[in-house]
Amino acid sequence: MTRQGRLLEIGPTDNTSDQRTPRQLLRLIPEEARASFIPVVPARYASNPHEWDMTRVAPDRPRADGVPIEVTGSVKTQSGAPVRHALLEVWSANHYGRYRHVEDMSGLQLDKNHLGLGRVLTDEDGNYRFLAISPGAYLARPDIGRWRPKHIHISVSGGASRLITQMYFPDEPNNQSDPMAILMGDAFERNIGKPFEPANNDLDEAYRFDIVVGGRNATYFE
Ligand SMILES: [Fe+2]
């Protein structure tokens, strides 16, 4: 059986888009193959219970600068089935918009209490929860003055599959001019965390971010 594939457009807003966009026709993965998104992540990946708390580098260490937040949600397939034991790897800039990464040349302030990396498994119902510091926006392209609105990177792994997405925050000034938001169009709404009142007094803000893997209502993945 042959299927006509779809060619992705090269985004008009980003000068690396042409390098990151597949040149060949995209073909729909057959349903039976999509079942390979079955998480077989070993439990050892979540053996450290503190890896879902990104507000400090270790228990009993001071909390990093900025606003502590909770992010919670589910990972589901397009038919609504929970994706159990999927591994979420999370990374973000610190309160000042700086990544603790060798390639972050911004010169912005580092925070010794902020590692900016965490990971968590989804539970039996496909739900996850982690704590983070609300990340700062950063000037991603000083040459053209382009800011990236604050966002949290989330990788979802299950089986042999890995998808990477970003959670945005509502009403951020640079949301609409963000290259990914422009590419997403109306679907951008799905990638914005939905605020709710945190139950824990220790946290200033809480966001719900439900991730859908595949289908018409899929979360936008890079
Ligand atoms: Fe980023």
pLDDT of 1:
44
154: Cβ contacts below 8 Å, ≥ 6 apart: 88, 89, 90, 164, 165, 166, 167, 209, 211
pLDDT digits (tens, 9 = 90+) for 81-129: 999 888 999 999 999 999 999 889 899 999 999 999 999 999 999 999 9
Distance 166 CA to ligand 1 centre (A): 8
- Contact criterion met (CB below 8 Å) for 133 and 94: yes
Domains and CATH numbers, the chain: 38-213 (2.60.130.10)
Distance 152 CA to ligand 1 centre (A): 7
Distance 43 CA to ligand 1 centre (A): 28
pLDDT of 76:
94
Distance 99 CA to ligand 1 centre (A): 8
Model pTM score: 0.82
DSSP secondary-structure letter at 17?
A: H
Distance 69 CA to ligand 1 centre (A): 17
pLDDT digits (tens, 9 = 90+) for 161-212: 788 999 999 999 999 999 889 988 999 999 999 999 998 889 999 999 999 9
Distance 4 CA to ligand 1 centre (A): 34
CA neighbor of 54 nearest in space, from 139, 124, 123, 111:
111
